[in-house]
Amino acid sequence: DQQVKQNSPSLSVQEGRISILNCDYTNSMFDYFLWYKKYPAEGPTFLISISSIKDKNEDGRFTVFLNKSAKHLSLHIVPSQPGDSAVYFCAAGIYNNNDMRFGAGTRLTVKP
């Protein structure tokens, strides 16, 4: 069963606008969430994380929002740049449990 779902396989936005990538999860035990970015022929690289005690975490142009009651998190990129074009994975885990679950990924294309 897929406990972490990214329902949009792809997203296209104009340079300078906001990109919003969404992720839903089903396991209410998850208490730590991460976003990774992946370029072709490379491994995923860590982008930003959030724990369940927070509802927002910011790092420069990237902000992650967590809505625990809806079991939903989102990644906002403002402003979007062409270099942000990549596949974005969300991941969720439980504290002190090594079984982290990943979504299927969303391919973001930022058009100049």
Partner 1 sequence: NAGVTQTPKFQVLKTGQSMTLQCAQDMNHEYMSWYRQDPGMGLRLIHYSVGAGITDQGEVPNGYNVSRSTTEDFPLRLLSAAPSQTSVYFCASSPRTGRYEQYFGPGTRLTVT
Judged by CB under 8 A, the stretch of 57-65, 68-76, 77-85, 98-106 that binds partner 1 is 98-106
DSSP state of 92: E
Identity of the amino acid at 55? D
Cite the beta strand spans of 4-103 per DSSP E.
4-5, 10-14, 19-25, 32-38, 45-51, 56-59, 62-67, 72-77, 86-93, 101-102
Pick the closer one to partner 1 by CB: 2 or 26.
2
Contact letters (x/-) for partner 1, 51-90, by CB under 8 A? --------------------------------------x-
Q: Does 25 bind partner 1 (CB under 8 A)?
A: no
Instruction: Report the C-alpha gap between 34 and 53 in whole angstroms.
Output: 14
Asked if residue 7 binds partner 1 (CB under 8 A), the reply is: no
Asked if 105 touches partner 1 (CB under 8 A), the answer is yes
**Does 11 engage in binding with partner 1 (CB under 8 A)?**
no
